[in-house]
């Protein structure tokens, strides 16, 4: 990628953030619309789970393929294709006449979405090469998530109440068009020096692992172990297949050597835990505010602001802290805040009082605001720039897998505990195990934030980067000879 002027770099960052905005808005806006969709499409709790997880599942399954493909054929090309497919999928979602077709359209959206965020992060990584500048750019990237969380519930509530839930998908069309035209004009093409070959077997194993595991979790409360058990077995077999097959390839879909880096492995687990907490938190909160408290979509969106505003404010602060002091402090703050929020709901029924509900939402927003920048920065900063697309894709995959599992697990726990005939009476008690799970997710962030960010962990990252660069160096030496 050619050296760009400061103004051009900021413009590239803005264009990449536009793609993140439409993908993130899609998640927060959709959560506010769930009760309306449930009523209009006659969906069960598991049906609502699939409207979210069909998207995040396909996204998680294809992110690494998109990242390696972008490194191979060109990041700008893949990014533009993603904008076109995502916008087309959004249009299909707005026209879907049934739950099944809506879920199918969400999967089309996800195919496009898989080409956006990891590729955009790779573009940012190759545009902002100085560590401090890159950390600040990633902080801005994280702030966009906060903007989507602040604007999404309100915007979604207004649209659902005034026009209907289908209108939430219209938001993506003008933003996608502007981002597409701007990318065509201002974003330079870039690719990895060494192209990576496709890995169809690894891709199929990833799809089998994520799909079977999610299906087993979501359908277990209604279908039982006899039906979900075989899917769990398929997921386990696919995992074993990945662990056996991928190290034997010269250019695997998932380079397992990445995980020899303790910071990278820690960032992966932190991403899964934090976004599992986010997915479960939004799912429980939306259903509680509208189906139990009886709020309309707009007022439910207003109640999400105590979570969204701290996320928006803390994300850029987290980016600056990562740039100046490293990832440990932001991760410790994030873990402590998310754990405390979970305990308030699990042990003290924070939903039942406006004051504790406000406090629980605000604490979760602080925690989530601080967690995103250190995840992304740790995932890409220790890797060779030639591997930026794949490394960013692994981090993004971890986020989407976490959100998928969060909605699947928390929804399954809720469905198992709620009595449909007395939904309002049983919801709070049925949600308690889910809140304890979210507390555990926060605790994982806290512990790994302390353990995986020390000098010993950094040395493992340096050794991993040397191993990853060594084959390319040897090949270059052979060519020059």
Note the pLDDT of residue 339.
97
Q: What pTM did the predictor assign?
A: 0.83
CA angle, 212 as apex, 208 and 215 as ends, to 5°?
145
Of the candidate ranges 137-146, 284-293, 429-438, the one whose mean pLDDT is the lowest: 137-146
pLDDT above 70 covers what percent of the chain? 90
pLDDT > 70? residue 476: no
Of the candidate ranges 23-27, 145-149, 387-391, the one whose mean pLDDT is the lowest: 387-391
Cα 473 to Cα 319, 337, 391, 468, 479, distances in angstroms: 32, 44, 19, 10, 10
From 131, 135, 70, select the one nearest 390 (Cα to Cα): 70
Residue carrying structure tokens 């169809």: 200
Over residues 49-95, the pLDDT tens digits come to: 889 888 888 888 888 788 778 878 888 999 999 999 999 999 999 99
Note the pLDDT of residue 420.
53
**Selected residue with higher pLDDT from 371 and 417:** 371
From 402, 378, 405, 404, select the one nearest 465 (Cα to Cα): 378
Over residues 328-368, the pLDDT tens digits come to: 999 999 999 999 999 999 998 888 899 999 999 999 999 99
């Amino acid at each position: 990628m050619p050296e760009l002027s400061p103004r051009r770099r900021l413009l590239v960052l803005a264009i990449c953030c536009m793609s993140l905005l439409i993908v993130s808005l899609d998640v927060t806006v959709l959560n506010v619309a769930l009760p309306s969709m449930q009523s209009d499409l006659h969906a069960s709790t598991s049906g609502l789970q699939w409207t979210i997880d069909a998207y995040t599942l396909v996204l998680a399954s294809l992110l690494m393929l998109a990242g390696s493909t972008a490194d191979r054929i060109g990041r700008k090309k893949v990014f533009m294709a993603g904008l076109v497919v995502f916008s087309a999928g959004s249009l299909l979602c707005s026209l879907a006449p049934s739950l099944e077709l809506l879920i199918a359209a969400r999967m089309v959206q996800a195919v496009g979405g898989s080409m956006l965020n990891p590729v955009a992060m790779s573009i940012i990584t190759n545009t902002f090469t100085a560590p401090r500048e890159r950390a600040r750019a990633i902080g801005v990237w994280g702030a966009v998530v906060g903007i989507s969380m602040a604007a999404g519930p309100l915007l979604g509530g207004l649209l659902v109440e005034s026009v209907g839930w289908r209108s939430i998908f219209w938001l993506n069309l003008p933003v996608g068009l502007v981002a597409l035209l701007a990318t065509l004009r201002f974003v330079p093409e870039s690719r990895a020096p060494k192209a990576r070959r496709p890995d169809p077997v690894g891709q199929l194993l990833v799809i089998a692992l994520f799909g079977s595991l999610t299906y087993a979790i979501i359908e277990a409360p209604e279908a039982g172990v006899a039906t979900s058990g075989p899917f769990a077995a398929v997921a386990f077999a696919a995992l074993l297949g990945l662990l056996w097959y991928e190290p034997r390839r010269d250019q695997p879909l998932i380079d397992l050597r990445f995980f020899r880096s303790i910071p990278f492995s820690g960032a992966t687990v932190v991403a899964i835990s934090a976004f599992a907490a986010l997915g479960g938190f939004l799912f429980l909160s939306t259903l509680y505010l509208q189906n139990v408290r009886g709020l309309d979509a707009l007022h439910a969106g207003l109640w999400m602001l105590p979570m969204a505003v701290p996320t928006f404010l803390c994300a850029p602060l987290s980016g600056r802290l990562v740039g100046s002091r490293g990832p440990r402090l932001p991760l410790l703050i994030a873990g402590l805040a998310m754990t405390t929020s979970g305990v308030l709901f699990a042990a003290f029924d924070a939903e039942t009082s406006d004051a504790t509900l406000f406090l629980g939402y605000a604490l979760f927003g602080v925690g989530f605001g601080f967690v995103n920048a250190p995840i992304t920065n740790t995932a890409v900063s220790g890797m060779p720039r030639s591997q930026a697309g794949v490394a960013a894709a692994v981090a993004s995959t971890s986020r989407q897998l976490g959100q998928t599992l969060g909605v699947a697990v928390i929804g399954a726990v809720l469905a198992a505990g709620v009595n449909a005939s007395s939904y309002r009476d049983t919801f709070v008690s049925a949600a308690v195990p889910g809140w304890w799970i979210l507390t555990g997710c926060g605790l994982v962030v806290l512990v790994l934030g302390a353990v995986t960010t020390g000098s010993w962990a950094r040395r493992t990252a340096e050794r991993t980067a040397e191993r990853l660069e060594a084959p390319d160096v040897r090949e270059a030496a052979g060519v020059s000879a």
